[in-house]
């Protein structure tokens, strides 16, 4: 889950995925949220909302959102059309009700057999998998997996040294590159416009795998001197070649010696303490979590 807030929503993010609520006040209406509430309710103390997001969509400048005690596992957006925003001097204040302990967490708890979650099963060798509920909001590359308090490393090639350390020096480097200037077109579901182009990187260190193994994966690349990071979609692989489509931007010419890495594919899950959440069904059923 991502927290998206602007300068006129009073709250403070601390730690990883946990929100500390401020104790200030504002002069507008009071809205109430409770874990046992209902988003179809009017948001009063007697009939509270169930989610902070529903309150965010209802709130107007100067309102106060009171959260009853408990844990809220959701994505909250105050900055887009999904939620309203405060104004200078009329901020939207989010605070616990009467000092009740409140946690807004970025993590869902995976409990096999509950709330639409499947059962753990062995996929192959040391890799285990479980199907997650479809109603959990996820975006490829925007997820974090934690097991017994330990953050798992996102599966990618080449591997990173740890879950939070992956700079250019730990990426692959292209030996050569090609670019098809006549290949402009859409790349659904990411773009319906004619702004994606086909390109190829070759890397003699690329692992030998069957052709097409990496199709559907994402490639993060830094062309044009490495000062701009882009994400493309792998369409095929064969030998040392990786074919992909990406959105061309200014000063992003492809060439040799450019850093890149691959992710969002089960082929990248190749070692202990790695995880792959297949949000898009690239390597199997959608919303399947794979752990090594």
pLDDT in tens, 18-70: 333 444 444 689 999 999 999 999 999 999 999 999 999 999 999 999 999 99
For residue 255, which of 199, 195, 204, 207 has the smallest C-alpha distance? 199
pTM for the complete prediction? 0.74
Mean pLDDT over each residue of the chain, to the nearest integer: 85
Element (H, E) at 278: strand 274-278
- The answer on 174 and 86 residing in a single domain is no
196: left (phi over 0), alpha (psi -120 to 50) or beta: beta
Q: Report the CATH number that the domain containing residue 219 is assigned in CATH.
A: 2.40.30
Model confidence at 80: pLDDT above 60? no
Evaluate whether residue 246 is within a structural domain: yes
Q: Which residue has the higher pLDDT, 17 or 93?
A: 93
- The answer on 96 and 174 residing in a single domain is no
Of the residues 62, 81, 105, the one at which a domain ends = 105
Q: How far apart are CA 200 and CA 4, in angstroms?
A: 35
Tokens 């990248």 correspond to what residue? Answer: 268
Q: How far apart are CA 168 and CA 225, in angstroms?
A: 11
- What is the extent of the structural domain holding 173? 168-266
- Burial (CB < 10 A; 0-12, 13-18, 19+), residue 34, is buried
DSSP state of 56: H
Token digits for 282? 């690239």
pLDDT for res 72: 94
Model confidence at 198: pLDDT above 80? yes
The model's pLDDT over 111-151, given as tens digits with 9 standing for 90+, comes to 899 888 999 999 999 999 999 998 776 788 888 898 988 88
Burial 215-237 (b: 16+ CB within 10 A, else e): bbbbbbbbbbeeeeebbbbbbbb
Q: How many domains, in total, are found in the chain?
A: 2
Evaluate whether residue 129 is within a structural domain: no
- The answer on 81 and 7 residing in a single domain is yes
Q: Which residue has the higher pLDDT, 11 or 192?
A: 192
Of the residues 105, 123, 143, the one at which a domain ends = 105
- The answer on 175 and 96 residing in a single domain is no
Evaluate whether residue 179 is within a structural domain: yes
Of the residues 88, 105, 122, the one at which a domain ends = 105
């Amino acid at each position: 889950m991502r927290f998206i807030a602007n300068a006129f929503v009073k709250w403070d993010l601390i730690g990883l995925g946990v929100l500390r609520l401020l104790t200030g006040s504002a002069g507008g209406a009071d809205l109430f949220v409770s874990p046992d509430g209902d988003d179809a309710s009017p948001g009063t103390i007697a009939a509270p909302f169930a989610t902070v997001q529903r309150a965010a969509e209802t709130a107007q400048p100067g309102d106060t959102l009171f959260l009853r005690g408990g844990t809220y596992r959701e994505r909250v957006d105050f900055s887009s059309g999904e939620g309203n925003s405060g104004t200078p001097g009329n901020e939207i204040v989010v605070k616990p009700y009467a000092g009740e302990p409140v946690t807004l967490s970025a993590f869902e708890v995976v409990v096999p057999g509950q709330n639409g979650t499947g059962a753990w099963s062995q996929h192959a060798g040391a890799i285990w998998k479980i199907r997650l509920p479809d109603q959990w909001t996820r975006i490829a590359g925007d997820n974090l997996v934690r097991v017994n308090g330990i953050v798992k490393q996102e599966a990618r090639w080449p591997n990173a040294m740890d879950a939070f350390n992956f700079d250019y020096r730990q990426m692959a480097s292209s030996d050569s590159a090609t670019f098809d200037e006549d290949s402009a077109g859409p790349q659904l579901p990411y773009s319906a416009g004619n702004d994606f182009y086909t390109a190829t990187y070759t890397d003699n260190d690329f692992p030998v795998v069957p052709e097409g193994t990496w199709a559907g994966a994402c490639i993060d690349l830094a062309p044009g001197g490495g000062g701009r990071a882009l994400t493309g979609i792998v369409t095929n692989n064969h030998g040392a070649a990786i074919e992909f489509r990406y959105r061309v931007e200014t000063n992003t010419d492809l060439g040799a010696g450019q850093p890149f890495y691959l992710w969002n594919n089960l082929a990248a899950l190749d070692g202990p303490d790695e995880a792959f959440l297949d949000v898009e069904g690239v390597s199997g059923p959608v919303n399947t979590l794979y752990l090594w």
